[in-house]
Structure 1
Amino acid sequence: MNFQALSTFIKVAETGSVSVAARLHGLPKSSVSLKLKQLEEEVGAELFARRGRALELTDAGRVLLERGQHILSLCDDTAAAVASMQDDAAGVLRVGASGEFGTALNAQMLQAFRAAHPKIQLDLVFFAPSVFLDLSRQKVFDAVLAFDDTSGPGAEVLATLRYGLYASPRYLAGHGTPGSVADLARHKGVIYRDAEGVQPWRLSDGRDSAEILPPADIVTNDYWTTKYFAVAGAGLALLPAFFTELEVREGHLAPVLPEWQTEERRITLRVPDPRYVAPKTRAFLAFCKDYFQPGFDFAGPRYFVEALCFPDTSKGETE
């Protein structure tokens, strides 16, 4: 059997679309269609039935998908097992990640992983958090990093975190520092919006709870943009400590009411089939667990938002 055609078939079956499979894996659509046709001729059966724009597996297609995934997994494991005889994990590791914090978390961790496992090549794809509601797509990857994704088998909690309020010293100097939760309603916010809509600040100090949605000139579904406008002095923002560590250290942001925080959120790592985990993926799982332990030494480049002083055209002077 043509393993390359089989691999192409599995990509299409797992995404439900020739176009999506081609785009996701950087392949020409014509090449994907040709491989499918060749495989159907080789096995002597139609593998897909078209329902409108969607592709559905035929009975023959479902049998081939189940056995084909196992065949390719064994091939991958065999190659990795040979490499492991040299005490090294090797091969292409396909990692999917929810993109809330992008480079601030995933790219930094993967850079550290590369230093520890130089024979592993990385294929990293970021998705919007809502994509992870379709768990079938995760079969495309060897591992998936996400926030608050613990449903189903194979998901492991790597770390928990809480969000707190941050603002630039410039904003606080001009608008005052809130002394209580009640003061927040008089301040502007930089508000995050997810697939369910605008997210109010749900905070607790361990005794009392509060939900605040302050007036905002800026609403965004991207945490980097949220942090950028907070550093720029647009208002208070609700962000996790790990994402603001450098800005706080450099004096670009300051904690506000630090005793008031959100409930814990989870960072999880999922494998598509916990019954079968290739050596390269086991190496990644072990590394991720170490990475989130206190005191992990990361020496690679890190991203942060820098605050610079520009002329204030409204006053005609430099601040």
Structure 2
Amino acid sequence: MDRLTSLTAFVRTVELGSQAAAAAELGLSRTMLGRHIQALEQHLGVRLINRTTRKQSLTEAGLAFFERCSAALHELEAAERSVSSLQAEPRGLLRLNAPMSFGARHLAPAIAAFTELHPKVRVELVLNDRVVDLVEEGYDLAIRIGRLADSSLIARRLAHCRVVLCAAPRYLERCGAPERPADLARHNCLLYSYAADRDQWSFRLGPVEETVRISGNFVANNGDAVVAAAVAGQGVVLQPTFIVGEALRTGALVRLLPGWEASELAIHAVYPHPRSLTPKVRSFVDFLVERYGGNPPWDAGIG
């Protein structure tokens, strides 16, 4: 017989004072409940309950066993309640990985707003621009920007990600502005080392598409470093608006090749498996969709 059911039958019989009451509560026949207690006694090799036609009483062994079993079953019930509450309310530690620039500029403020709404959630944010293994490294969720590689990960789109070509006014005064993509071959192009096509940039103007091989004297594995070099007048950058948006709004950078569009990327939240979508993960992803969906705040005022 099922040992846990037998233990429950014994404990409830003692607590309720009769097998009839315990059987009714547990949805068992009185005969079946009696068999569970007998099976428990046979397993232990001792009598637990002295039975007469009118009353029952615990043996010395039964009293000692009841005290331990009762405490254990109540702990089990408390554990089940705690898991159920985790399924109902966002709480606990959320381990999150994200790209460096996006995480520092946009995700950290979003986390502050989210935890204000859900104070029982704690967030551990790890920022780097490499692609991490969520399962092996123990992350609940990651933010990925770009074209997703085929994988077993579940993805939800958070926002579109525009990529624009720009340079500082001082660089343009010195080197001139490109008039079409092919002109970039003669410019100092500042490169992001994790870009899928680092050494060539593609643009589209209506049905016309041009791809140009580019080169430059600066490569970095972080978008903010590349943009800082551009603001200092070192060269031309092709970067997402969530990094260059503020510099474009202030005039520190100027958008180039108006009308020509680079391929748009997307920002996704990814997690390992549908079972990973606990309330803390689900509520955080929903929060980001609402915050970034439609027209993302980093695109405001840059055309």
Give TM class, smaller chain.
0.5 to 0.7
Q: Are residue 284 (structure 1) and residue 284 (structure 2) matched? A: yes
Q: Give unpaired runs (5+ residues) of structure 2.
A: 1-78, 299-303
After TM superposition, give the deviation of residue 205 of structure 1 in Å: 1.9
Question: Take 2:134 and 2:169, find their aligned partners in 1: how far apart are those partners?
Answer: 42
In structure 2, the CA distance between the partners of 1:202 and 1:92, relative to structure 1 (3 Å rule), is: same
Question: Take 1:153 and 1:238, find their aligned partners in 2: how far apart are those partners?
Answer: 28
Question: Take 2:142 and 2:126, find their aligned partners in 1: how far apart are those partners?
Answer: 9
Q: Are residue 273 (structure 1) and residue 273 (structure 2) matched? A: yes
8 Å Cα contact 2:134-2:141 kept in structure 1: no
* SS of 1:105 mapped into structure 2: helix
After TM superposition, give the deviation of residue 76 of structure 1 in Å: 7.2
Deviations 1:200-257 (A, max 9, x none): 2122223222222334111122111110001000011001122211111111111001
Question: Take 1:276 and 1:249, find their aligned partners in 2: how far apart are those partners?
Answer: 39
Aligned to 1:243: 243
Q: Which amino acid aligns with 1:146?
A: R
After TM superposition, give the deviation of residue 289 of structure 1 in Å: 0.9
Question: Take 2:81 and 2:270, find their aligned partners in 1: how far apart are those partners?
Answer: 22
Question: Take 1:201 and 1:101, find their aligned partners in 2: how far apart are those partners?
Answer: 21
Q: Which amino acid aligns with 1:128?
A: D
Q: Are residue 166 (structure 1) and residue 166 (structure 2) matched? A: yes
Q: Are residue 105 (structure 1) and residue 115 (structure 2) matched? A: no
Q: Which amino acid aligns with 1:288?
A: L
After TM superposition, give the deviation of residue 283 of structure 1 in Å: 1.1
After TM superposition, give the deviation of residue 119 of structure 1 in Å: 2.8
1:80-159 to 2 correspondences below 5 Å:
80-81=86-87, 84=89, 89-99=90-100, 101-131=102-132, 134=133, 136-137=135-136, 140-147=138-145, 148-149=147-148, 151-159=151-159
After TM superposition, give the deviation of residue 276 of structure 1 in Å: 4.6
Deviations 1:261-316 (A, max 9, x none): 22222211122221352211221021011011236779xxxxxxxxxxxxxxxxxx
Question: Take 1:103 and 1:294, find their aligned partners in 2: how far apart are those partners?
Answer: 21
* SS of 1:141 mapped into structure 2: coil
After TM superposition, give the deviation of residue 100 of structure 1 in Å: 5.5
Question: Take 1:209 and 1:162, find their aligned partners in 2: how far apart are those partners?
Answer: 17
Q: Which amino acid aligns with 1:207?
A: P
Q: Which amino acid aligns with 1:284?
A: F
In structure 2, the CA distance between the partners of 1:238 and 1:225, relative to structure 1 (3 Å rule), is: same
In structure 2, the CA distance between the partners of 1:287 and 1:74, relative to structure 1 (3 Å rule), is: farther
Q: Are residue 183 (structure 1) and residue 183 (structure 2) matched? A: yes
Deviations 1:39-82 (A, max 9, x none): xxxxxxxxxxxxxxxxxxxxxxxxxxxxxxxxxx9887434247
> Which of the pair has more CA radius of gyration?
2
- Equivalent position to 1:78, from 64, 71, 84: 84
Question: Take 1:176 and 1:100, find their aligned partners in 2: how far apart are those partners?
Answer: 29
Aligned to 1:263: 263
Q: Which amino acid aligns with 1:149?
A: L
Aligned to 1:47: none
TM-score normalized by the length of structure 2: 0.63
* SS of 1:275 mapped into structure 2: helix
8 Å Cα contact 2:201-2:211 kept in structure 1: yes
Q: Which amino acid aligns with 1:227?
A: V
Greater helix percent: which structure? 2
Aligned to 1:192: 192
In structure 2, the CA distance between the partners of 1:170 and 1:266, relative to structure 1 (3 Å rule), is: same
* SS of 2:179 mapped into structure 1: coil
Identity of aligned residues (%): 31
The root-mean-square deviation of aligned C-alpha atoms, in Å, is 2.8
After TM superposition, give the deviation of residue 142 of structure 1 in Å: 1.8
In structure 2, the CA distance between the partners of 1:164 and 1:188, relative to structure 1 (3 Å rule), is: same
TM-score normalized by the length of structure 1: 0.60
In structure 2, the CA distance between the partners of 1:130 and 1:233, relative to structure 1 (3 Å rule), is: same
Q: Which amino acid aligns with 2:142?
A: V
Question: Take 1:167 and 1:203, find their aligned partners in 2: how far apart are those partners?
Answer: 16
8 Å Cα contact 2:134-2:271 kept in structure 1: no
Total equivalences in the alignment:
218
